[in-house]
Structure 1
């Protein structure tokens, strides 16, 4: 007997009692006439034909099985019926972000200003948020630019309300707008300001704004860094900036960065972009809320923010102690007091600032911090290391110019 052909069950142990393929027939020769006899059995099919028949049978069985499963899970006559697929019932559990957005989004507004570009007038847009019931709105100074007026929209697709620019502070990139509460449909929803000094890396961060001209949008992430520095619109630096990975894009400028309790911890201002001109790479920066708490009331009152000014550029020392004076601005308080710049890395051929107004200096950022709370016209002692000796220089602080020299 010929060898047994292989089974169609590829994973079945050998020695089974089913042979799906029969041995090949030997063929038929001419035979003499004989009385009629029952018709001979139909010759066996070839192996190829039987394989195709068996595969067709398996496919048919699978089709019936799938049809049964479809009917079990979806009901009806299956996909051929044309009925839409059912939706899973219910909603997911409410998240903290849902709650914060529902509570805070009404206090976030779309800001639009007219900008003159030569002979044409264009429009710039950003985001702002309400901080009191009197119609005070905070946004970025770079959103407002030099405009004296703006218009804001409180609802997606709603009407615009005229706003007056109460003041701008390019050194902190903050601006304050005022609207008449009677012009607003419904009640104003002020957002509370948090103490940004209490913010920690890893805290929840939620940004609400109008990115790329879209309607009100929420994105979320964490606080990913603290005490960062960014450049202000006038070229000076803004310190104590909050870094976040919550997606921030053009149009989010001036909008609030919120904590897990829906309080403002910062004002979204800048993003880091990839070197090839791409968009957000997950690094955004927000001006801290404590700066807002100081600047906004003065701008609301129509005051100009005056900051003290020393007039030096500094760099770190190799040993991490003090700040090397690299440049002394012409006609500045530092120049008038006789401070000297250095070229050597360690500052040994010039001045190394070690103390300002009684505050020890460990790096360049400490110099600006030491005079931040001082007023123009105040006289402060500046202690420098000069050619191996410590020298105290009295400096009368000036008024910070409109732009960085």
Structure 2
């Protein structure tokens, strides 16, 4: 019989197959690590771009001030201040407006051994009856007294009461204006307090002068040999025609009645020192108790 011979299978080299698989796995690992590095680099680039964008959009802040900027801002501030002051009346204006309805002009006529004479002075309405408070020396030698009110009313007046020791007098007008506006009386003032004298100096009606209280409790001698005591000394200008007029504080309240001025010359013109009777003293002339 014939005999078949079966050929043997070729042996497989297992060690080569493992090496091939190991090489493929290493290549995959390297690719994976490369991808990680690429992603990391990309993230870094994106982060840097984001930071650059934020920095580019951030407000750099105001530019440094120059001298021109400073000058411009100062000018704007001064202009705003001037506008505010223009809208707000000065204290003197408010005081003047407050006393205007109560201020009167006093004119007198008389005669003596030298002939006829005339004079002017000021006064202030101090109560609802229309009583006018003034300086006694303005009216004491007059044969006739005329009071002129702010509304144009003119009327004769007589001396209702007088206090020669303090040079004050109260006048009773024959006729009152349609509206009687008494002044508001103030209290005691201090040295340095701003004050305003209102009257008709040298025939100039309704004039205001400003100053401060220079001293208190002054004793002076005035025309006629009178010795006046406890006066308010002021540096606000007063001249003939101011006598009898009100001395005001910043609120327009009457704190004194102007009585005279100190002058070392023979001219009866203001040289820097005026005097007023405190309203606490002058109030007794119109029947009110000293305040």
Give TM class, smaller chain: 0.5 to 0.7
Q: Comparing both structures, which one devotes a greater share of its residues to helix? A: 2
Question: 1:107, 1:130 within 8 Å by CA — same for their partners in 2?
Answer: yes
Are positions 1:110 and 2:105 aligned together?
yes
> How has the CA–CA distance of structure 1 residues 159 and 273 changed in structure 2, closer, same or farther, with 3 Å as cutoff?
same
TM-score, length of structure 1 as denominator length: 0.47
> How has the CA–CA distance of structure 1 residues 119 and 247 changed in structure 2, closer, same or farther, with 3 Å as cutoff?
closer
> How has the CA–CA distance of structure 1 residues 256 and 278 changed in structure 2, closer, same or farther, with 3 Å as cutoff?
closer
In structure 2, what is the Cα distance between the partners aligned to 1:141 and 1:276? 21
Aligned residue for 1:190, secondary structure, equals coil
Q: Could you tell me which residue of structure 2 aligns to residue 242 of structure 1?
A: 232
Q: Could you tell me which residue of structure 1 aligns to residue 179 of structure 2?
A: 187
TM-score, length of structure 2 as denominator length: 0.65
In structure 1, what is the Cα distance between the partners aligned to 2:228 and 2:260? 11
> How has the CA–CA distance of structure 1 residues 166 and 149 changed in structure 2, closer, same or farther, with 3 Å as cutoff?
farther
Are positions 1:288 and 2:278 aligned together?
yes
The structural deviation recorded for 1:149 is 4.2
**CA offsets per residue over residues 280-314 of structure 1, 9 Å max, x none?**
12210001111112232179xxxxxxxxxxxxxxx
Question: 1:193, 1:293 within 8 Å by CA — same for their partners in 2?
Answer: no
Question: 1:192, 1:264 within 8 Å by CA — same for their partners in 2?
Answer: yes
> How has the CA–CA distance of structure 1 residues 160 and 212 changed in structure 2, closer, same or farther, with 3 Å as cutoff?
same
Q: Could you tell me which residue of structure 2 aligns to residue 210 of structure 1?
A: 200
Q: Which runs of 5+ in 2 are unaligned?
A: 1-82
The structural deviation recorded for 1:248 is 0.6
Aligned residue for 1:235, secondary structure, equals coil
> Which of 118, 121, 132 in structure 1 is aligned with 2:116?
121
Counterparts of 1:143-292 in structure 2 under 5 Å?
Answer: 143-147=138-142, 149-155=144-150, 158-180=152-174, 183-196=175-188, 199-231=189-221, 235-275=225-265, 277=267, 279-292=269-282
The structural deviation recorded for 1:131 is 0.4
The structural deviation recorded for 1:216 is 0.8
In structure 1, what is the Cα distance between the partners aligned to 2:259 and 2:226? 15
Which one scores higher on RCO, CA 8 angstroms, separation ≥ 6? Answer: 2
> How has the CA–CA distance of structure 1 residues 148 and 132 changed in structure 2, closer, same or farther, with 3 Å as cutoff?
farther
Q: Could you tell me which residue of structure 2 aligns to residue 354 of structure 1?
A: none
Q: Which runs of 5+ in 1 are unaligned?
A: 1-88, 300-405
**CA offsets per residue over residues 92-141 of structure 1, 9 Å max, x none?**
23111111111111211100111113373221111110100101001111
In structure 2, what is the Cα distance between the partners aligned to 1:119 and 1:234? 17
> How has the CA–CA distance of structure 1 residues 278 and 171 changed in structure 2, closer, same or farther, with 3 Å as cutoff?
closer
> How has the CA–CA distance of structure 1 residues 216 and 161 changed in structure 2, closer, same or farther, with 3 Å as cutoff?
same
> How has the CA–CA distance of structure 1 residues 176 and 148 changed in structure 2, closer, same or farther, with 3 Å as cutoff?
farther
Question: 1:171, 1:232 within 8 Å by CA — same for their partners in 2?
Answer: no
Aligned residue for 1:192, secondary structure, equals coil
Aligned residue for 2:210, secondary structure, equals strand
Question: 2:110, 2:143 within 8 Å by CA — same for their partners in 1?
Answer: no
Equivalenced residues, count: 206
